[in-house]
A and B are shown apart, each in its own frame.
Chain A
Amino acid sequence: MALLDIRGLRLAMTSFDGETEILKGIDLTIPQGAIAGVVGETGSGKSLTGLSVSRLVPTPPGRYLGGRILFDGHDMLAASEEEMRALRGTRISMIFQDPTTNLNPAFRISTQMVDAALAVAARDPDILSLPATARRRQKRAVARQLAIEMLGRVGIVDPAQRIDAYPHQFSGGMRQRVLIAMALIGRPKLLIADEPTTALDVSVQAQVLALIHSFVVDRGLTVMFITHNLGVVAQICNEVAVMRQGEIVESGPVAKVLTSPAHAYTRALMASVPTREMKRGDLSFSVDPVEAAV
Chain B
Amino acid sequence: MSILVVEDLVKHYTVRRGWFGGAAEPVRAVDGVSFVIDSGECLGIVGESGSGKTTLTRAILGLERPTAGRILFEGEDIHALSPKALRAQRARIQMVFQDPHASLNPRMSVRDIVAEPMEVHRDVLRLSGRQITDRVAELLELVRMERGHLTRYPHEFSGGQRQRIGIARALACNPRLVVLDEPTSALDVSVQAQVLALLIGLQDQLGLTFLFISHDLAVVRYICHRAALIYRGKLVEDGPVDQIFDAPRTDYAKTLLAAMPDPDPGKSPFWGPAAQGKIQPDSEKGAP
Contacts and interface: CB of A to CB of B under 8 A. Distances in A.
Contacts of A279: 221-222
A238 B190 contact: no
Interface string A271-284: 11111101111110
B214 to A, nearest CB: 11
Nearest to A227: B261
Interface stretch (A10-18, A76-84, A202-210): A202-210
Nearest to A204: B48
A264 to B, nearest CB: 12
Interface in B214-272: 215, 217-219, 221-225, 241, 245, 255-271
Contacts of B196: 274, 283
Given A217-B281, A280-B222, A290 B190 contact: yes
Given A203-B255, A285-B197, A236 B268 contact: yes
Interface string A257-294: 01100000000111111111011111101010111111
A281 B261 contact: no
A200 B255 CA distance: 15
B195 to A, nearest CB: 10
Interface in B39-59: 48-49
B181 to A, nearest CB: 16
Interface string B270-288: 1101001111011001000
Interface stretch (B63-71, B117-125, B153-161): B153-161
A285 B189 CA distance: 10
A272 B192 contact: yes
A200 to B, nearest CB: 9
B46 to A, nearest CB: 10
Contacts of A274: 193, 196, 218-219, 221-222
B113 to A, nearest CB: 16
Interface in B111-170: 149, 152, 156-161
A164 interface: no
Contact of B265 (A210, A234, A280, A289): A234
B157 A234 contact: no
B146 to A, nearest CB: 9
A276 B218 contact: yes
A290 B193 CA distance: 13
Contacts of A287: 190, 193-194
Interface stretch (A118-126, A127-135, A151-159, A248-256): A248-256
A238 B279 contact: yes
Contacts, number: 170
Q: Is the interface of B mostly helix, strand, loop or mixed?
A: helix
A218 B282 CA distance: 8
B221 A276 contact: yes
A229 interface: yes
B278 A238 contact: yes
A204 B260 CA distance: 11
Contacts of A238: 271, 276-279
B3 to A, nearest CB: 19
B279 A269 contact: no
Contact of B158 (A213, A272, A282, A292): A292
B202 interface: no
Nearest to A220: B281
Band of interface residues on A: 35 or more
Given A42-B188, A203-B255, A256 B222 contact: no
B72 interface: no
A285 B194 contact: yes
Given A34-B279, A281-B200, A235 B217 contact: no
A278 to B, nearest CB: 5
A47 to B, nearest CB: 14
A259 B189 contact: no
A138 to B, nearest CB: 36
Interface in A1-58: 33-34, 41-42
Contacts of A203: 48, 255-256, 259
A172 interface: yes
A231 B260 contact: yes
Given A33-B279, A238-B276, A256-B277, A283 B263 contact: no
B277 A253 contact: yes
B265 A259 contact: yes
21 contacts: A201-B215, A202-B256, A202-B260, A203-B255, A205-B261, A213-B285, A230-B263, A234-B264, A236-B270, A253-B276, A255-B265, A258-B265, A270-B263, A274-B221, A275-B218, A278-B221, A281-B200, A285-B194, A289-B191, A289-B194, A294-B152
Interface of B: 48-49, 149, 152, 156-161, 188-194, 196-197, 200, 215, 217-219, 221-225, 241, 245, 255-271, 273, 276-279, 281-282, 285
Given A254-B271, A278-B221, 18 more contacts: A33-B279, A201-B215, A203-B256, A203-B259, A206-B261, A210-B269, A236-B268, A238-B276, A271-B193, A275-B263, A276-B218, A280-B225, A283-B197, A289-B160, A290-B188, A293-B157, A294-B157, A294-B158
